[in-house]
Amino acid sequence: MVKVSVIIPTMNEGQSIGVVIDEVNAALGSLPHEILVVDTNSKDRTRDIAASKGALVVDEPRRGYGRAYKTGFERATGDVIATLDADRTYPASDLPSLVNMLEAKNLDFITTNRFAKMEKGSMSAKHRFGNWILSTTTRILFRVSLKDSQSGMWVFRKSILGSLDLVSDSMAMSEEIKIEAFRKFRCVEVPISYRTRIGEAKLSSWKDGSGNLKYLFKKRF
């Protein structure tokens, strides 16, 4: 039986982290698993709540979405790695079926498509348009079949990490890991539900969106 390492980056997610950890534990049940909360200088009770729920809290003072995940990857002890945001937007209840799919279909990497079953109000029109631009650019530049290049819910075999050239420490790592995996391994994209977040958004729309677009061209050329 595989062990699953669930990695959740956090920065001031005290309103939601407890709910997310509870959902993960309820979903995975008796399946061997660990939850790693990679925290960047939270000033609220994020760390205390996560620890009280049994999660391993990993300090990562260096800012950056990609940096947090790289640190989590280094600390993970599972055969399979799963990722979630700390704001409860992603359905932790889907984790068992995604892990089963990975094993049953002999896949290496599964990413998810939020646009398939998006809850009303979970993403602004501006963010949907930005995601369309980034996903379209990713398909054109790298010839990978992705409808949602920015999704932050993935399930994959830890063993492939050594073959992925992950350079970005920023939000661009989300598209980078998919490009690397889809070009080198057996991968699929599956539909998921996407819910309205709990708490304040940390995303800087223009800065992160433009940075991700520039990174695509930098990586390609």
Mean pLDDT across 116-123: 88
* Residue that wins the pLDDT comparison between 164 and 125: 164
Q: Looking at 12-26, 56-70, 122-136, 194-208, which range is the least confident one?
A: 194-208
Mean pLDDT across 72-78: 98
Give the model's pLDDT for residue 122: 86
Could you give the number of structural domains in the chain? 1
Residues spanned by the domain of 39: 4-220
Give the model's pLDDT for residue 204: 58
Helix-strand-coil percent breakdown of the chain, rounded to 5?
45, 20, 35
* 177 close to 166: Cβ distance less than 8 angstroms: yes
Query: Is the overall model pTM greater than 0.75, yes or no?
Result: yes
Nearby residues of 62 by Cβ (< 8 Å), 6 or more positions away? 40, 169
Give the model's pLDDT for residue 206: 64
Where residue 133 sits, what CATH number does that domain have? 3.90.550.10
